[in-house]
Amino acid sequence: MNFEVIKKEILFKAVRSSGSGGQNINKVSTKIIIFFNIYKSLGFTESEKERLLDKWKNKISIEGDIIISCSETRSQFKNKEIAVNKLYTLIFNDLKIDEKRITTKIPKRVIKKRLDDKKNLSIKKNLRKNFNL
């Protein structure tokens, strides 16, 4: 994975943000939409592409673009940085290989304590019953 190559492959588009915002929103295009095509990318190996395509199968378009938008701030530059960081964290988290969990055996004393607690609770509840004969 080469982030410098990936950064050059990102396409940016600035659009007007939605919602209320006064006159500024009618004049300035601050919302950023980035497009990144995983099929055409040279920044990944084939195995990394396969892993990302498997994880992103519901997030990518038919052409292979992942689309991320950002309109958090009123600055186009900051929105561009935030969107690129979102893409990088998405890539980094999805390429990370999870470690296998080693199953552990529950100690006998823990099992015994749990059963004793259940027994004591049962006795306590049985003592609360009203025995009117």
Q: What is the pLDDT of residues 82-96, one digit of tens each?
A: 999 998 888 888 888
The fold of the 3-95 domain, in CATH, is Double Stranded RNA Binding Domain (3.30.160)
Sequence-separated (6 or more) residues with CB below 8 Å from residue 100: none
Q: What is the pLDDT of residues 23-70, one digit of tens each?
A: 666 677 788 899 988 888 888 888 888 888 888 888 888 888 888 888
The mean pLDDT of 90-114, rounded to a whole number, is 90
Sequence-separated (6 or more) residues with CB below 8 Å from residue 35: 10, 11, 13, 65, 66, 67
| Threshold 0.85, pTM exceeds | no
- Which carries the bigger pLDDT value, residue 119 or residue 1? 119
Q: With 80 as the cut, is the pLDDT of residue 17 above it?
A: no
Taking the domains of the chain in order of start, what are their residue ranges?
3-95
DSSP annotation of 101: P
Share of the chain above pLDDT 90, in %: 21
The mean pLDDT of 100-127, rounded to a whole number, is 94
Q: With 90 as the cut, is the pLDDT of residue 112 above it?
A: yes
